[in-house]
Amino acid sequence: MSADVNTPSSTYRDMLPDWELVLALLGGTRAMRAAGRKYLPQYAREEDAAYRERLNRTVLFNYFAKVLSFLATRPFSKPVRLGESAPEELKALAEDVDRLGSDVTSWARAVFKDGLAKGLTHVLVDFPAVDPEAVRTLEDEKRAGLRPYFVHVPAEALIAAYVEVVDGEERLTHARIRESEVRREGFEEVKVERVRVLEPDSWAVYERSGTSEWAQVGGGPNKLGFIPLVTWYAHREGFQLAKPPLLDLAHKNVEHWQSSSDQRNVLTVARFPMLAASGVAPPPGSGEDGGQGGGLKVGPHSLLTTESPQGKFYYVEHSGAAIEAGRKDLEDLKEEMAALGVELLVRKSGSSTATEKSINTAQSHSELQALAESFGDALELAFHFAARWLGLEVEDGALKVEVHTDFGLSEGDAQGLDVLFKARAAREISRQAFLTELKRRGVLAPDFNAEVDADLLQAEGPALGTLRPAPAPGTSAGQQPSPGGAS
């Protein structure tokens, strides 16, 4: 198949499996069910109908999404600030960075969250298309109210990008961004696919709908002379290659998804005892004597009899051992996910790195703090690009973007949290005490309300594995009832 404008690059294809996993988890139970066998394998000899039934009763415990949201809000618990020496035009831009009314703090929070989830994300500093005959100078642009604006380009939307190295610096030479739009045509909706092609000296837009061919529908010169696209890497491993910081947590969450499916399945089976018989000949027509038919009839209006003096009918019930093992596995996985979720907040002892330029003395820093500072650098570059669009001369060091970094847990705090998690798992402390300690240490939000959370938990119902089949009369839990005779 020949390549076209929609063909992704090799680096894009390398990153895609990680992004698909992250997007499925962020999509919740519905997206995980839609992924089907990709994240919930079908067992050997498991019929399709049985698999679909098991899949449709599996519910995602979305720890990944909860941890991601919590971590992504930490750097933006205080406003993103431009330095006092920043031009007034850029300060005004920060009040509405996307021309949709979003200030830089709320807009940047969503971008940071995307990069934290997927390992990298992008910011395109765009400018409205203008009629070159009507708008020829910067004064014409000001009179028309034209100004640059920021466009968030999610990781999976940048399908290709290429660079050349000039004087040790990477310079973008080509980028392709995939977009889509739903248009109304009469009473119908038509989905239109679009690819935006950016070059240092030009731009173009290609579209297609349905199975039609790609056609160029717009384009023009790029007066900047470079591609105003900023890429922020969380964990860079190469150009357009990165490891999502929470990837291990994502895989662990999938493991929990699979284990919870097994647990729900064994609970369903265990709740229904199976009727068994010994010393009883198969009824005529059951198929076991060579005939055809529907087998033994059982119900409230049926009487079970046998002519054999050794014949017995009895129920076989689950011992519950597998249920307890499954319950413990789910609890262990939750504890492991909790430990992975707090890792980025733990401050590591050592000297400041190059990206921690706002810290003048050596001190402990968490990985999330370092990520927040590097993200501030990416925002700073985006504002520099905006200044170029506006024709502003900004001196080196005159434009500062500050992202909040005064947060994190010390290694001692992390050890204390580990003790807390284990104490709660062993039920050596109450849930109230556990939540109080988490709130005091800043792991939970200041406005967290334990009573409201308890009501929400109650509304969710019992956790998987806490429901066990009731023991048969005369038996204790885990003991299989003795066969009972019938005449």
The residue assigned the tokens 């434009």 is: 399
**Cα of 353 vs its chain's centroid, Å:** 29
- Give residue 364's pLDDT: 46
Q: Which residues contact 28 (CB under 8 A, 6 or more apart)?
A: 60, 62, 65
Angle between helices 321-342 and 63-73 (to 10 degrees): 20
- Residue percentage of the chain with pLDDT more than 90: 42
Whole-number pLDDT of residue 460: 61
The domain spans of the chain are 10-253+346-402, 274-312
For the CA atoms of the chain, what is the radius of gyration?
A: 31
Question: pTM for this one?
Answer: 0.71
pLDDT of residue 470: 45
Which string of DSSP letters, residue by residue, matches 352-393?
Answer: --TT-TT--S---EEHHHHHHHHHHHHHHHHHHHHHHHHT--
Give the model's pLDDT for residue 354.
44
Please give the pLDDT value at position 57: 87
Question: Looking at this protein, which amino acid is placed at residue 22?
Answer: V
Q: pLDDT (tens digit, 9 = 90+) per residue, 421-439? A: 778 877 888 888 888 877 7
pLDDT at 317: 53
Please enumerate in sequence order all residues whose Cβ is within 8 A of that of 20, keeping only pairs 6 or more positions apart, or say none: none
CB within 8 A of 318, min separation 6: which ones? 266, 269, 270, 273, 469
Distance between CA atoms of residues 347 and 365, nearest Å: 5
What does the pLDDT read at residue 264?
66
pLDDT < 50 stretches in the chain: 272, 288-294, 350-364, 464-487
